[in-house]
Amino acid sequence: MKKAELGFLLVVLAFMGCKGEATSSSKPLPFLGEISWSTAADGRVDSSVQALPNWRLVNQDGDSLGSQVISGKVRVSDFFFTTCPTICPRMSGQMLRIQQKFKGNDGLILLSYSIDSGHDTAEVLKSYAEKLGADTRQWQFLTGAASLIFELAAAHGSFAEADANAPGGFVHSGALILSDRQNRVRGLYDGTNPQEVDRLMEDLGRLLAEPADFGPRPLQLEMGIGYD
């Protein structure tokens, strides 16, 4: 984990008496992000946590896709580029493992955001997905303006940026990011480490079973406000 990941605030909340309860006997997954608390006149305490911002990007089929279309799904996301000579092939391989394990589960969607919008057109992403054997009904490959993708990476607690001195021209995190049905980040995992991805898949199963209204209210942020 580097840069934005190191500064990303981890908040673990038990939420005694909050709306909804986790169905698992194990502790609920933490909520990652900045937490806000307020007290109503009747003394009830309310809490909210930042949710990932909405976006509109282009997928591997050349279609415009908005995040609202996949609202209500658990998401696993990564930030990559198709010509990456280092960690991206391993990350994509682990994303493929996740898809194979949860194949056909309508409650899950996988999202791979390209950080190289200059090269990774819809056609390039489609070819990449086909070579991987990805099922794009459940796994979307997305491209858009570099500034937007970099901001999205930071919002996820990850990072990505152009760097002429880096292999392939970019530096980025190897994290796979797990977010819940209300678009709140619940975990970051090393996408190059199969054992970490095993843990992700266990946590993913827990999120799929968790009531959608469990935990703090999502505080919807907008793009363009900056994520330092």
Residue 109's pLDDT is 98
Q: How confident is the model at residue 219 (pLDDT cuts 50, 70, 90)?
A: confident
Structural domains for the chain: 4-14+28-220 (3.40.30.10)
Q: Which residue has the higher pLDDT, 213 or 136?
A: 136
pLDDT higher than threshold 70 for residue 69: yes
Tokens of 186: 């619940």
Q: pLDDT tens for residues 106-154? A: 999 999 999 999 999 999 999 999 999 999 999 999 999 999 999 999 9
pLDDT higher than threshold 50 for residue 25: no
What is the pTM for the complete model shown?
A: 0.85
Residue 40's pLDDT is 63
pLDDT higher than threshold 50 for residue 61: yes
60-97 CB burial, b ≥16 within 10 A, e <16: beeeebebeeeeebbbbbbbbbbebeebbebbbebbbe
Could you count the other beta carbons within 10 Å of the beta carbon of residue 169?
17
Q: How confident is the model at residue 224 (pLDDT cuts 50, 70, 90)?
A: low
Cβ distance 206 to 221 under 8 Å? no
Dihedrals φ, ψ of 182, to 5°? -100, 15
Q: pLDDT tens for residues 26-60? A: 689 999 976 676 666 666 667 788 899 999 999 99
Alpha helices per DSSP H over 156-217? 194-209
Residue 107's pLDDT is 97
Residue 91's pLDDT is 98
Residue 43's pLDDT is 64
Cβ distance 153 to 160 under 8 Å? yes
The end-to-end CA distance of the chain, in Å, is 15
Q: pLDDT tens for residues 162-204? A: 999 999 999 999 999 999 999 999 999 999 999 999 999 999 9
User: How far apart are alpha carbons 70 and 100 in whole angstroms?
Assistant: 20
Mean pLDDT score, 85-90: 97
DSSP string of 19-79?
Answer: SS--SSSSPPPPEES-EEEEE-TTS-EEEEEEEPPP-EEEETTS-EEEGGGGTTSEEEEEE
pLDDT higher than threshold 60 for residue 17: no
Mean pLDDT score, 17-26: 42
pLDDT higher than threshold 70 for residue 21: no
pLDDT higher than threshold 80 for residue 223: no
Residue 48's pLDDT is 84
Residue 2's pLDDT is 43
User: How far apart are alpha carbons 77 and 59 in whole angstroms?
Assistant: 14
